[in-house]
Each structure stands twice: as structure tokens, then as C-alpha cells.
Amino acid sequence: MTSTVVVGGFFGDEGKGKIISYLAIKDNPKIIVRGGAGPNAGHTIRDGDKVYKVRMLPSGFLNKDAKVMIGPGVVINPDILKKEIQDFNVSGRSFIDKQCGIIEETHLTRDSKGELKEKIGSTGSGTGPANADRAMRVLKLAKDIDSLSALVIDVPQAINSALSANENILVEGTQGTFLSLWHGTYPFVTSKDVTASGICADVGLGPTKVDEVIVVFKSYVTRVGTGPLENELSLEEAEKKGWSEFGTVTGRQRRAANFDFNLARRAIMLNGATQICITKLDVLFPDCASKNSFDDLSKDAKAFIKNIESELHTPVTIIGTGPDIIDVIDRRN
């Protein structure tokens, strides 16, 4: 029995979707369950010549033997959810908790204009207004929507029963530590806590049931939208380094900066990390592209990883070396 929680260490965009997909196949969990705010998060997954952009389902759906679930703390857009279930061919093994909140048209309207959109660059997904309505106790829940009845189960009961039966569970966080409503760069944050403890609460996993917490950092820092970004590079500098990227949900260009050890230390503390994953090492060190062995990395790339371990006092166990889910160095065994 192992429960592994995966969360982002910076401002989202760390490559969690790829890592979740890799772990879903490698570790073969019985259940992959998603916490987080809602469809304002987006994960991109590359499997060979196929590219998936996911906003609602857990990114580990590529494991066809696993059940994929959304915890009660998440607000869902039924239209997006149903489309992903159909497009990704996961009917019959996709489930949502009865307590999931429902994003309605009024939430989309409120989120697409006004202060949230103008001040903090909201994604317009309706997630923030829906979570606000939940706090006011007026939000509809999944159990209230007849068209969702075939998907509705008790997710906390399902995952805890699986753990009691010595099955593996993979818990997927969304966004990043410093977008947390409690711990992020307020007010430029999401509408709830997205650190490991918040994600576990979202899915109904108690603290004593958590075995591993993997915090994912990209080899450099990126951020979509407004809000502080220490030592931010100009767009020209970012493009010169090959760090020009665009958000999965909004399509907006990501701002970029060098790896931030101060943020990383705080993320390790806030999440209680037991392991670190570093993604996009190949962008910093192109000669490391698609490598699957630490021994095959260049001297500079090895030094970069070892410095992170030394500074953060946490082992780097998984390293992303390319965009595909198989472009991974797994040092856990």
C-alpha cells in the first residue's frame, strides 16, 4: 500500500501532467484521484505522436487499468468533464464525488469580466466564483445534477478502501504552491489552497495515510498572468534561452526567471516534501534530451541536480528530459 501525492512547487506550469502520466503507468496505481480548484488548471501530456490537453480528468488516464476520480473539493464544469471522458475514452472508469461543486453559466459570466479578470488575470473558467458560492453555501453539487448520476460515487471511501486493500493510490494536485490562496502571492492566487495538505483534504485522504509527497519543480520558473516574479527575465531574454512558453488553459505567454532556491525551500517546507521531481532539464542542457539514465547526463547537468539536492536537503528522484512521458530518469529504485 502506497499513497503518493504530487504537487507543483512554483506557480504551476511545472510539468505535473507528464509526471503524473509517467507515475500512473510506472507504478500502476489502482486509483488516480485529482484535487485542486477546478478547470482553471490545465495539463499537457505527450504520448508519442499524441498530445492531450486536460482540464478536468486526472492526467493519469493513460493507464487503462486505473480508475480516475475527482475529489469532493474540486468544482467541475460538466461540459468539459463529459467531453474529456468521451475524447479520452475513459467511460466506465471515471468518477466524481457527490460533493463536487458545479460550475454554471453564471459563474462563467462573472469570471469573464470584472475585477477578477482585470486585476489578477483570471482564467475565466468560472472556478473562482463557483468556489465563492460554495463558501456562501449556495453552490449546486454533483449529487443535485441528474445527468451526472452515473459518475457520482463516494470518492474518499473509494480511495481509503483501496489503501486498506493494499492498493496503490496516486493523488494529483493542480497549479502550484505559490498560487495557493493561503500561501501564495495574494491576491494573485487561485481560489483555494493547492499545497499538499489542501489537495489531500480535497480528496479525503488523511495525513497519516500519506506515504510520499513529490514536489515538482521546473528547471526554471514560469508564471502566467500578473503577480510578482523575482528576477524576471525580459521576453527577449526568455526566448533566447528557449524558455518561451504558453499556458495550456489561457494561451497566454508565460513569464520566466531562473530557478528560485528561496521559493523552492519554502515549497519543500509547506508541502512536507519527501521527494523532488525536476522537469525540462533538457531545456537547460540540450545534450540531456531523452536520456533515461542519470549516468548519461552531462557533468553540468549532474551538478545542477546535485546542487538542488544539497540546497533543499531533499532527494531528486525523478527528472524530466523531454516532452514525452517516457523521457524520464527515475532514481527511486
pLDDT, tens digit (0-9, with 9 covering 90-100), for 36-60: 999 988 888 999 889 999 999 999 9
CA neighbor of 10 nearest in space, from 209, 169, 231, 284 = 231
What sign results for the dihedral spanned by CA atoms 303, 308, 311, 313? negative
pLDDT at 116: 61
pLDDT at 222: 94
Active site residue 13: yes
Active site residue 43: yes
Q: Of the residues 13, 97, 202, 282, which is catalytic?
A: 13
DSSP, residue by residue, 68-93: EEE-TT-EE-HHHHHHHHHHTT-TTS
Q: Which parts of the chain sit beneath pLDDT 50?
A: none
Q: How far is CA 310 from the centre of its chain?
A: 25
Alpha-carbon Rg of the chain, whole angstroms?
19
**Residue 205 gets which letter from DSSP?**
-
CA atoms within a 13 Å half-sphere pointing along the CA-CB vector of 261: 10
pLDDT, tens digit (0-9, with 9 covering 90-100), for 154-180: 999 999 999 999 999 999 999 999 999
pLDDT at 265: 98
Confirm if 214 and 276 have CB atoms less than 8 A apart: yes
pLDDT at 250: 61
Domains in the chain with CATH codes? 3-66+164-330 (3.40.440.10)
CA dist., res. 73 & res. 160, Å (int) = 16
Q: Of the residues 27, 43, 107, 193, which is catalytic?
A: 43
CA neighbor of 182 nearest in space, from 192, 170, 169, 167 = 192
What's the whole-model pTM score? Answer: 0.94
Grid coordinates representing 290? Answer: 531523452
pLDDT at 124: 82
296 phi/psi in degrees, rounded to 5: -85, -5
CA dist., res. 64 & res. 75, Å (int) = 25
pLDDT at 273: 98
pLDDT at 249: 60
**Residue 232 gets which letter from DSSP?**
B
